Structure 1
Amino acid sequence: PLNIPDWPWQSIAMDFVTCLPAMLRKHSAVLTVVDSLTKMHPVVNVEHLKQYHWSQCFLTETYHPPPEQVGDHVEWVVDKVCAKCNGEHGKEYLVKWLGFNEDEDSWELESSLKNAPSLLAKFKKQSAHKKVTYTKTS
Structure 2
Amino acid sequence: MAVSATLHCLTGCAIGEVLGMVIGTALGFHDAATIALAIALAFVFGYALTMHGVMRTGLDFRAALKIALAADTVSILVMEIADNAFMLAIPGAMAAGLADARFWLSLAAALAVAFVLTVPINRWLISRGKGHAVVHAHHGH
Note whether the superposition's TM-score is higher than 0.5. Answer: no
Kindly indicate whether structure 1 or structure 2 has the higher relative contact order, using CA contacts under 8 Å at least 6 residues apart: 2
- Please identify which structure carries the higher strand content: 1
| TM bucket, shorter chain | under 0.3
Q: Tell me the TM-score normalized by structure 1.
A: 0.21
The structure whose Rg is larger is 1
